[in-house]
Structure 1
Amino acid sequence: MLRWPIAILIVLNVLAFVALRGAFGPALTAGARQPDLLNRQIHPDWLKVRPVSAADAADQAVVGGPAPQARISTSELPQ
C-alpha cells in the first residue's frame, strides 16, 4: 500500500538532487538577476558614506553588551 508513495518520493528526491547539481541548467540563484542595476542608478557618485557620530550611536544597541533596561514604572496591584 505504501510502496508507490515511497517510490514516488524517492524518484522526486533523485530529480531534486540532479536539478540542484545543474543537470537542467544553472540554478536560479547562480547569477545576477538584474545585471543592469548599476547602470540604472541615478547619480551614484552623490552617495556619501560618513561615520556615525557618538550622538547618533547613543540609541543603538551594543552587540554582545547587556540588554537595555526598559524605563517603566511599576506599582502594586490592589487586592
Structure 2
Amino acid sequence: MLRWLIAILLLANMIAFALASGMLGPLPAAGPLESNHIERQIHPEWLKTKPITEAQAAEQVIVGQPDPSPSVATAPLGG
C-alpha cells in the first residue's frame, strides 16, 4: 500500500517538474502580456505627474507601520 503511494507521489512530482520547467511546451503565461496595450493608448504624452501636498502625504500608509487612526468625529445617537 505504501509503495503505491510513494510511486504515485514520485510520478506526480516528475509531472509537476516537467510542466514547470517547460519540457512539455511553453506555459500559456510565458508569452507577451498585452502587447498591443501601448499601441491602444490615446495621447500618452498628455499624462502628467504632480507632487502630492503634505496633507495628501499624511494620508498615505507607510509600509511596515500601523494604519493611521482616521480623523472621524463621533457623536452619541439621539434617542
Q: Distance between the aligned counterparts of 2:26 and 2:68, measured in 1?
A: 47
Deviation larger for 24-33 or 48-57? 24-33
Indicate the RMSD between aligned Cα atoms, in angstroms: 2.7
Amino acid at match of 2:2: L
Match of 1:8 in 2: 8
Match of 1:59 in 2: 59
TM-score by length of 1: 0.64
Structure 1 unmatched ranges of 5 or more: 74-79
Amino acid at match of 1:52: I
Match of 1:35 in 2: 35
CA positional deviation for 1:35: 1.1
Q: Distance between the aligned counterparts of 2:28 and 2:4, measured in 1?
A: 31
- Number of matched pairs: 73
Structure 2 unmatched ranges of 5 or more: 75-79
Match of 2:46 in 1: 46
